[in-house]
Structure 1
Amino acid sequence: MTQLYALTGKLAELQAMADTDDEGLKEALQHAMDEIAGDFNEKADNIVMLRRNIESDVTAIDNEIERLAELKRIKSNSVTQISDYLRRNMEAANIKTIKRPLFTITLAAGREKVIVDNEDAVPDELTVVKSSIAPDKTAIAAKLKEIREHNEAVRKRMAAGEDAEHELIEEPAYAHLERGDSSIRIK
């Protein structure tokens, strides 16, 4: 089976040749384009089926990731519970160290930690201020579109002979609009 890009090239060549006055040639070209379009559609079907297979693999992988994450959470909780069980019993028995052939278990005193009872009463010199500044891309997009639409309207007026060049708004250097890749929708 021919590759999709090859079919695309053939179709483009035939479409370029279709601009002729010879009815017989036009009919032959149209027949050839219909045949290539059929092959193109079949290839597109195959690509969509391949895409669906890969999507199902991605879904299965996502499900496995969720299952493994849950298993990890359960195992981590078990480790914490077992360690806590040993710690509580060592504390109750007042045992600080257990020496075994493969490892040594030591009951270490916990670190001191600060518990803030009233945040409003903490002096300013003992606080940290956090803030973040980020561009508002929605507002920037709206402003850039507004400038583009204004300039397009002014350019149309200028093309019609009006002297309106002084009304053009300079596009900002801090951002620009860029169209993303087109997408395929399959329903």
Structure 2
Amino acid sequence: MAPGPPRNALGDAWSRQIAILYQGRTGCQWAYLPHDLPQKSATYYYFAAWRDDGTNQVIHELLRCQVRERARRSEDPTLVVLDTQSVHAAVGVPAATTGYDPAKRVPGRKRGLAVDVLGLVIAVVVLAANIHNNTAGIALQDQVAEHTGDTVRKALVDQGFKNQLVDHGAGLWLVSPFAVAPDDNPR
């Protein structure tokens, strides 16, 4: 268990937070949390409450701002990188939320990420794999605008995105997103 505050009323909250982080990191089922962590019911209750009321998002945003300030950067980025990746869906994932990406020949889901130049996550979307990159990109751009206000001026995207994304970005940012060609000489 990670070092933390002394065992008192705060200690229980600290243990619950450690249990939530453990589950998120390992991906284990809630019922299989180690026995030295708080009970599944209490841990999941707080996880669900924080997820539903947005507390986990607020914590993420505060931590991201602290990391950026320690790196001597402004709290909110002025440039983001958008990309998507098609991944195989786990067994038991509903068919309504999966699809087939013909370009990458992958059945499953498409996840989109918007990160700043430090690699810190700004926005995430998860869609069926058959959804075009533009749809994911537009959803990412909208989330970036929501989370960062009007500080983002540019978005770097690869050539999997089309003009529809660039046009949408031009409406959100002063400078429209532009495509970056893949590196011809990978290291």
One fold, TM greater than 0.5?
no
Q: Bin the TM-score by the shorter chain.
A: under 0.3
Give me the TM-score of the superposition, normalised by structure 2: 0.17
More RCO (CA 8 Å, sep 6+): 2
Q: Which has the larger share of strand?
A: 2
Q: Which has the larger share of helix?
A: 1
